[in-house]
Amino acid sequence: MRLTKFGHACVRIEHEGSTLVLDPGVFTDAAAVDGADAVLVTHEHADHYEVERLLRADAPVFTISAVAEQVRADSPELAERLTVVTPGEQLTVAGVPVEVVGERHAVIHPEFPRFDNSGFVLTLGDQRVYHPGDALTPPPAPVDLLLAPVSAPWLKVSEALDFVREVGAPRSLGIHDRVYSDAALGMLDGHMAKFLEATGQEFTRIPDGTDLPA
């Protein structure tokens, strides 16, 4: 498995000849989708979904109904490439087993409407990778790698830390990181190291455009 982090919440995963890209939004280098066999989108917010990225990909798009509606409105020509998925569904995407997890975006503010959001668990050989989108919904079964949101208007550092501990993955990669400055992300790293040491879990962040070390 090769996992490359792109801008903010986007990752590109290559496994046994298949390439899947998750959540290519406005912070994502457009080249992230080049050659993709499939694109998965967790929800409709611009930092996770940007129609120009989908048009560039020339690949099938797997997403929830709320995003599909937005895609059809933004670019009707993409409609034939859409596959709508539902929470709890298990399917195969470009040869990769995928499970759809969760239904709602985290609460941004009690007076703000809730959005639909579903994460994805990908089974890549003996590795299970979970991208939760913008939610703190734990996966239904253990995973080996959590793509952990670390900064957002809806997220506190303590919540990010507790989510990593709750999921309990041996490794977590920090994503959703454009909200904080480099200095603030350094403070986050310190908190993660301090609290995860006792659990034996590993937390890491990597620069955009680089691969997660094996």
Q: Is residue 72 part of a domain?
A: yes
Q: Is residue 132 part of a domain?
A: yes
Q: Work out the pLDDT band at 208, boundaries 50, 70, 90.
A: very high
pLDDT score, position 179: 92
CA distance 37 to 32: 12
CA distance 171 to 164: 9
pLDDT score, position 214: 85
Three-class SS of residue 198? Answer: helix
Question: 210 has which bridge partners?
Answer: 5
Q: Is residue 63 part of a domain?
A: yes
Whether 55 contacts 24, CB under 8 Å: no
Identify the H or E element spanning 187: helix 182-196
Identify the H or E element spanning 164: helix 157-167
Three-class SS of residue 194? Answer: helix
| Number of independent structural domains in the chain | 1
Give pLDDT tens digits for 16-46: 999 999 999 999 999 999 999 999 999 999 9
Three-class SS of residue 100? Answer: strand
Q: Work out the pLDDT band at 146, boundaries 50, 70, 90.
A: very high
Q: Is residue 83 part of a domain?
A: yes
Averaged confidence pLDDT in the chain: 96
CATH number of the domain within which 166 lies: 3.60.15.10
Q: Is residue 68 part of a domain?
A: yes
Residue 22: name the closest of 58, 55, 63 by CA: 63
- Residue 131 scores a pLDDT above 90: yes
Q: Is residue 191 part of a domain?
A: yes
Q: Is residue 214 part of a domain?
A: no
CA distance 18 to 35: 10
What count of other Cβ atoms lies within 10 Å of the Cβ of residue 213?
8
Max CA separation in the chain (angstroms): 51
In SS3 terms, 103-161 reads as CECCCCCCCCCCCECCEEEEEECCEEEEECCCCCCCCCCCCCEEEEECCECCECHHHHH
Range of the domain at 38: 2-205
Residues 67-81 have a mean pLDDT of 96
Q: Is residue 198 part of a domain?
A: yes
